[in-house]
Amino acid sequence: MSIRGLSVLIIFVMSILILSCGTSGNDTDNTPDIDNIETYFFSGNDGTHGRELWKSDGSTDGTKLVKDINPSGDSFPSKFIKVNDAVFFIADDGSHGRELWKSDGTTQGTFMVKDINPGLAPLATTITYSSVSIENTLIFTGTNGTEGYELWKSDGTAQGTVMIKDINMSGHSSPSELTEVNEVVFFSADDGINGYELWISDGSSSGTMMLKDINLSGDGFPHNLASNENLPKKLTSNTYPPKKLSTFKKLLYFQADDGSNGRELWVSDGTASGTFMVKDINQNGESIPNDLTAVNGLLYFQADDGIHGRELWKSYGTADSTVMVKDINSVNNSWPYELTNGSGMLYFNADDGVNGQELWKSDGSAQSTVMVRDINSNGGSLPKSFIDLNGRLFFLATDGSQPSGALWASDGTQNGTIVIKDFNSRGYHFLCILGNVNDKLFFHITAEGSCGTVYELWQSDGTASGTEMISDLQ
């Protein structure tokens, strides 16, 4: 089987979490902590049908076209999310533009749910990236061409696909960072009056409301929202509108600006009175907490207190418990990122000012926050795309002899941090980790500088001999 020009827009069939690497190649490090699954859906191109909906169980024979949605061109399926036993996604059939579709993995069971914006130009977008499911219902951001981008829901039928509320009646409320906590959705939106603030919805119009006007004189910009229940990969960005919210212990944690303290760490229990700033970490500016990640009930994040630079911090949700874990780089910023829960241990990438960007780990104490291994003794190994699988951390890194990087694994010890396979000899320049399929790591390699096109699909059991190509897609 040959699949040419395979676009990396992957959905792993699982209860909540979806990986989407992006057709444009811009979302290159979008790998989350995920559960073991058996099948995934993706946008593929076999050179005959164009970019269409495909599925795979990880075998050559089990990798096949689900449906040629646009017989006259590319349907560009994207934004996959699973609800119950079906997959929702956006696609263009060549007649209705980019609309909401649904599939159960069969040709007959793949269909457009509703033409939300009738007469839309073929390549225009009616649905944004923000989506989540509550009570077996898809909640997403869309537009019917009249009300602007607002909050919508769908039960998988045309009749059950409706706008929940026209939040901004004079324009777009642009709901973003949709995050489910306790069967309600938190999100950032602009009602045209209060600016971008924190909102909440139970899926009904009356149950959709601004939770709190954090910044009375402007935008609160709630940012970095995420949930410990669906554990999406952290997307840190300083662009607005905000990108993501974060929670654990049934509480929402996020970054926000109240107009006085700058962007600091906030928490919410879903009530106005229970939504407040945890701590003014940087009293002379703003700490801009990012990469919020929960491990064993403890929230980790990177922040700048105005004294030590951007370092690793932790919090139990109170001012007193919100402290810097360790000043990893005493001269400059250590820039901890790729914060990942690896079987109860926090793993991340940091620069101590001596060894460059290397693999680090922490249990929350300063003395146990250490570099795991100096993989590249002549500079940083640039570890990235972390994923926890069977008690080991898999990631991409270079020891200096691998300009394009290699697949590595670590058990958290120096001797147990080893290279699995070097792909430089194959002439490719980029590896993209996909996730856990049947207790094996799935990844692909490409000649491009992003996850944009698959050249070879691989799997690994964590050993060199057990790392093998599933299919040559060219």
Determine the pLDDT at residue 236. 25
Determine the pLDDT at residue 230. 33
Q: What DSSP character marks residue 439?
A: T
Sheet holding 337-342, edge to edge: 337-342, 345-351, 357-362, 370-373
Determine the pLDDT at residue 221. 76
What's the CA gap between 20 and 26, in Å, rounded?
Answer: 11
How many other CB atoms are found less than 10 A from the CB of residue 282? Answer: 19
Contacts of 167 (CB under 8 A, 6+ apart): 150, 151, 173, 175, 189, 190, 191, 199, 208
Per-residue pLDDT of the chain (474 residues; tens, 9 = 90+): 433 333 333 333 322 222 223 332 223 232 333 344 567 787 777 878 888 998 877 777 888 899 999 999 999 888 888 888 889 999 999 999 899 999 999 999 999 999 999 876 554 556 665 678 787 899 999 999 889 999 999 999 999 999 999 999 999 999 998 888 888 999 999 999 999 999 999 999 999 999 999 999 888 778 777 554 333 333 222 222 333 456 555 789 999 999 999 999 999 999 999 999 999 999 999 999 999 998 988 999 999 999 999 999 999 999 999 999 999 999 999 999 999 999 999 999 999 999 999 999 999 999 999 999 999 999 999 999 899 998 999 998 999 887 667 899 999 999 999 999 887 666 555 677 877 877 888 887 766 555 655 567 788 999 999 998 887 765
Measuring CA to CA, which residue among 200, 188, 81, 182 is closest to residue 135? 182
Question: Are the CB atoms for 344 and 295 separated by under 8 Å?
Answer: yes
Buried-state track 252-271, b at ≥16 Cβ within 10 A, e below 16: bbbbbbbeebbbbbbbbbee
- What does 352-383 look like in DSSP terms, one character per residue? -SSS-EEEEEESSSSTT-EEEE-S-TTS----
- Run of H or E residues at 386: strand 384-389
Determine the pLDDT at residue 404. 65
Q: What DSSP character marks residue 264?
A: E
How many other CB atoms are found less than 10 A from the CB of residue 427? Answer: 10
Question: Are the CB atoms for 50 and 57 separated by under 8 Å?
Answer: no
Determine the pLDDT at residue 188. 94
Determine the pLDDT at residue 452. 52
Question: Are the CB atoms for 462 and 409 separated by under 8 Å?
Answer: yes
Cβ-defined contacts of 145-150 (< 8 Å, 24+): 145/117, 145/118, 145/119, 145/120, 148/172, 148/173, 148/174, 149/173, 149/174, 149/175, 150/175
Determine the pLDDT at residue 229. 39
Determine the pLDDT at residue 367. 97
